[in-house]
């Protein structure tokens, strides 16, 4: 079964956005890099450069729920063999949640996975969610002193 099919099964069960508690939690990713979780979402802050990468809360919640529902099945298969965008983006996000479930974040793995997700981009997946399931999720946002990019 492909990752996109597992995802479709999951979402057709009636995925509901859960109510998130207002919280702030910082976790160390690497030297002078933190991951800050708030109500709005998770943000990676690079303290040395002042850059940040925002991951919307709805995105994280969606994949946390999928992780609980089918995370093992998706991770078990390892990386999808073909270059299917949807299978890959689902796999990478489940891998990201898996890295975050530990008490300590493996910084290199986390940043590599986030880099891979950024390379693929989230727009195609977000568009599919909107068109197929009427689910709107904000984009990832990279912010530096000179530019703000939607990923």
Binding mask 36-65 for another protein (x = CB under 8 A): x--------x-xxxxxx-------------
Stretch 12-31 residues interacting with another protein (CB under 8 A): 24, 26-28
Whose CA is closest to 2, among 90, 65, 117? 90
- Which helix or strand (DSSP H or E) is residue 53 part of? strand 51-56
Instruction: Give the nearest distance from C-beta 113 to another protein in angstroms.
Output: 20
* C-alpha span between 25 and 35 (Å, rounded): 8
149 touches another protein (CB under 8 A):
no
14 backbone dihedrals φ, ψ, rounded to 5°: 105, 60
46 contacts 38 by C-beta, under 8 angstroms = no
Size of the site for another protein (CB under 8 A): 17
Footprint of another protein on this chain (CB under 8 A)?
24, 26-28, 32, 34, 36, 45, 47-52, 143-145
């Amino acid at each position: 079964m492909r990752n996109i099919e597992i995802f479709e099964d999951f979402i057709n069960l009636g995925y509901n956005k859960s109510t998130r508690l207002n919280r702030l939690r910082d976790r160390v990713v690497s030297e002078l890099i933190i991951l800050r979780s708030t109500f709005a979402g998770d943000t990676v802050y690079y303290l040395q450069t002042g850059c940040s990468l925002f991951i919307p809360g709805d995105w994280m919640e969606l994949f946390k729920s999928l992780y609980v529902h089918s995370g093992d099945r998706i991770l078990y298969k390892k990386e999808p063999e073909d270059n299917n965008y949807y299978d890959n983006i689902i796999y990478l996000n489940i891998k990201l949640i898996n890295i975050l479930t530990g008490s300590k974040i493996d910084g290199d793995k986390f940043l590599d996975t986030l880099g891979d997700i950024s390379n693929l981009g989230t727009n195609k997946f977000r568009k599919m969610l909107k068109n197929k399931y009427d689910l709107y999720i904000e984009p990832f946002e990279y912010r530096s002193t000179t530019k703000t990019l939607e990923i």
